[in-house]
Structure 1
């Protein structure tokens, strides 16, 4: 393997260490260490593997939680119908700033992920295995090194995707594998059916890196031993990324159904002002609910939450909740692919309304404007990005209602924004307004309607707007045609 040191996410576990087994003794499990840590993996035929996935009720661990067995049966039915062998895809393109579990798996225990993918490839007669990782991530080094160490049931390759939030969306990932721009497909199609939604139009079985690792664990343990931890409905363990203020994230393996308060205590954290569960497409819980909520899909759903990709952030009392939320909302709006109305108009409008609320400069209608924009973004997007962003922001407005009232009533809550919610280093471009020159012509809002909105007096409502790649054309037009030369486009990075 390359001699350059890998960035190795910190790991912990509560109770049974399954996915994290061996990491108390090894920084990374190469094939030899993997073989010493895990018992040999018995090969399963098609029906045996499907029966196992049914017996353990394995859900997808990438966020949606779609049952693995149903997805596999759909891909196999398409393969039988068309005569085209399926393609196995491992989704390790983790563009979620609050999540590090897939990075941990592909960096520290890559053979466990490959075990699951190879098990399915052999059982289902796959044509190829594709492991998608984020460009520049440790997986770009670790995965090819692991592939070179082992025998494979079919050809396999590593694909590097851009470090963007939408790169991990299944349709965007498949487009990337097919050599197309890595953005969600404008037409809804299932990868398992093949055709335009699959790799090279083949039936495609795509699952998250943790799902493949969990499949390998279940195959070694069998259904009964697998169910020895967890709940009756959701057996086994769950990988969480617990974000620590001013520290690196901690990836923790816990039994499904464990109380969130126990996990926070073990990590030295308190619920603070509120707890985000599920990452930036997840939901906020008030501290009183967060302590006792079980970390299972059903348990979180009962409290209006979602497990999502398992990312957790406890917001300390010493930071401004609205300022934190507004920063993430602006980043999420800029991370969209800009292909549909909710992403082009709804998310930027909501981000701007939240920024005004956070600044204590909002009109009385700002809260309703934000809720209206977020509500309109739900249910109509080309992918789940608008829905997830709306859930993140709307639950925040409910959990931090007292802070919202304080910002509407005056200059704000008085607390600084400490940047507790993790975001990538700022890069890209921003459209900036020079108030000493702006004369309120309003032409910028006509030329770049997805970026610039005007207040009641005809002036832009924001002095600095993040510019997504799909917005740059409109931004440049606004800069070049502003009669007062009051707008400039600044690039960072």
Structure 2
């Protein structure tokens, strides 16, 4: 497992970490990362080995030292898995970051997370590490949903507004301080640290369950049906679920037996929809939030996102007719594959998924009746 079996009341010290994971490091780690198929756990699920190779090759070609950024921003409002890892096993995350630094030729590792107790704990963990050729830093993160996007994290660390840079020069070529940069989220690097120490990565999925009592982080075996996880933690999802965060995938009630996979969970957040709760209302709330988090640096964000939120809210509130639904579908289509940072694209896909997963509810709302038994104020 990546998480401790019992949640500690304080972060594991370096001594406790070494007692669990040891000091041995496997040989030929990059080949092992390739063979393991390790993917990023921040949402994009890209192959980690491919990204490491790009940065390594750029470092060798240019002679500029690389940088590894530990992305603990976690702008997804329901997610807590990355801060949980930093608050419990920071040295496992640092092991992964240092392993990445060694593979790509980086001389600096920067841990970026929200100001507060977790960042203070990271700084204490850094102070416990022995002297090494790689410099270790901790920096406070910017707030906001898109502030967790990798190029926005780098922009913030460089002293600029935390805005995604769009589709220009990639970070592996020109990232922090103009240097080749690897940006990986906390869970990804914790798994890399585990792989470096043990030669394998746990076949598990780390989830934040958005429970009514507050977010709950759990680690379950990959392939476990989602409905078993939810019922095992006393959560009602008879109305369906949003899997993977606000840019995730909607599952209708009939699809809750879906096995959990890395590609499926993406950002690792599950938002169950309880019986008597309107899934379209949950979707409208999510889209309204996403529209408010736009940095408005392109037309799709400035104009398309507010319109998407208005139309989705009208549907949830039983105020949309057939013509309005056609406009909603057209807006979804116009935003697909658009946006400097893909925020409009991902948001539109969230709405498109809800229209499919809850088609019966859409029909009921067009007729002026919410299948959950109530109209939803938008």
TM-score, with structure 1 as normaliser: 0.72
Residue in structure 2 matched with residue 268 of structure 1 by the alignment = 234
Residue in structure 2 matched with residue 247 of structure 1 by the alignment = 213
Task: Count residues in correspondence.
Answer: 376
Question: 1:117: how far off?
Answer: 0.7
Cα pair 2:68 2:97 within 8 Å, conserved: yes
Residue in structure 2 matched with residue 436 of structure 1 by the alignment = none
**Match 1:212 to one of 183, 189, 192:** 189
Q: Quote the Cα distance in structure 2 between the aligned partners of 1:44 and 1:399.
A: 45
Question: 1:297: how far off?
Answer: 4.1
Residue in structure 1 matched with residue 223 of structure 2 by the alignment = 257
* CA 1:241–1:417: 2 relative to 1, 3 Å: farther
Greater RCO (Cα-Cα under 8 Å, separation 6 or more): 2
* CA 1:186–1:220: 2 relative to 1, 3 Å: closer
Q: Quote the Cα distance in structure 2 between the aligned partners of 1:123 and 1:151.
A: 19
Question: 1:417: how far off?
Answer: 5.5
Unaligned stretches of 5+ residues in structure 2 = none
Alignment of 1:295-334 (within 5 A): 295-297=260-262, 306-334=264-292
Q: Quote the Cα distance in structure 2 between the aligned partners of 1:123 and 1:394.
A: 40
Residue in structure 2 matched with residue 294 of structure 1 by the alignment = 259
**Secondary structure in 1 matching 2:199:** helix
Question: 1:93: how far off?
Answer: 0.5
**Secondary structure in 1 matching 2:229:** helix
Q: Quote the Cα distance in structure 2 between the aligned partners of 1:315 and 1:159.
A: 36
Question: 1:168: how far off?
Answer: 0.8
**Secondary structure in 2 matching 1:206:** strand
Residue in structure 2 matched with residue 23 of structure 1 by the alignment = 6
Question: 1:43: how far off?
Answer: 4.1
**Secondary structure in 2 matching 1:365:** helix
- Does residue 35 (structure 1) correspond to residue 2 (structure 2)? The answer is no
- Does residue 160 (structure 1) correspond to residue 140 (structure 2)? The answer is yes
Residue in structure 1 matched with residue 362 of structure 2 by the alignment = 404
Unaligned stretches of 5+ residues in structure 1 = 1-17, 230-235, 299-305, 419-461, 463-493
Higher Cα Rg: structure 1 or 2? 1
**Secondary structure in 2 matching 1:403:** helix
TM-score, with structure 2 as normaliser: 0.93
Q: Quote the Cα distance in structure 2 between the aligned partners of 1:374 and 1:342.
A: 11
Q: Quote the Cα distance in structure 2 between the aligned partners of 1:174 and 1:85.
A: 16
* CA 1:324–1:39: 2 relative to 1, 3 Å: closer
Question: 1:125: how far off?
Answer: 3.3
Q: Quote the Cα distance in structure 2 between the aligned partners of 1:172 and 1:284.
A: 27
Please provide the CA RMSD for this pair.
2.0
Question: 1:253: how far off?
Answer: 1.0
Q: Quote the Cα distance in structure 2 between the aligned partners of 1:121 and 1:284.
A: 37
